[in-house]
Amino acid sequence: MSSTVVHALYNDDDILMDAVKKTRAAHHHIEEVFTPFPVHGLDKAMGLAPTRLAICAFIYGAYGLGFATWLMWNIMINPSGGWPQDIGGKPSFSYLQNMPAFVPVMFEMTVFHAAHLMVITFYMRSKLWPFKKAENPDVRTTDDHFLMEVAVKNNVEELTSFLQNTGAVEVKVVEKH
């Protein structure tokens, strides 16, 4: 399945932001924007929905906290799990009596699980698999240019002239596969 898109190349992030706003106001569909660095406010200007990755981070952190609690109880307190540990004269009768000593472990396990599972989730959500071929349409977007990819709907000439008027330094029509 191939579709036609127009690549508009910009050399300034402020001009790009204005172009994105004008393009959305003219009801053209922006497929993607490629930038060499994060541009503040670009996601809102493109009309992208807010990310829900923070919810995942909370769930992963809660899982890490639960795992740490279970692990410390099994290792240090559980009488049927082997030999309860008596470290530094602390009684091993209940988890609550030893909780202050367990706080650093609980914190570290929460951060460990949240961080590592968030990296895996980000890569899966972004479809960044190992050995994946780069999808960057123009090498200059990794250095100092910005590229806006706009879908064509039988309006190639109108769209190219519109994008040139938004301050694009280069506009080309491309068949996307």
Minimum mean pLDDT among 7-16, 72-81, 162-171: which range?
A: 72-81
Whole-model pTM?
A: 0.71
Nearest in space to 169 (alpha carbons), one of 6, 1, 3, 10: 10
Element (H, E) at 55: helix 53-72
What is the tens place of the pLDDT at every residue in 103-137? 999 999 999 999 999 999 999 988 888 888 888 88
Q: Interior CA angle at 141 toward 136 and 142, to 5°? A: 85
Handedness of CA 35, 144, 128, 107 (dihedral sign): negative
> Would you say residue 46 lies in a domain?
no
The answer on 57 and 17 residing in a single domain is no
**Residue 80, domain extent:** 53-126
Q: Is residue 85 part of a domain?
A: yes
User: How many separate helices (H) and strands (E) can be counted in the chain?
Assistant: 5, 4
Can you read off the two tokens belonging to residue 155?
Answer: 């309006």
Number of domains forming the structure of the chain: 2
Residue 109 lies in a domain: yes
The verdict on residue 47 lying in a domain is no
Is the residue at 137 inside a domain? no
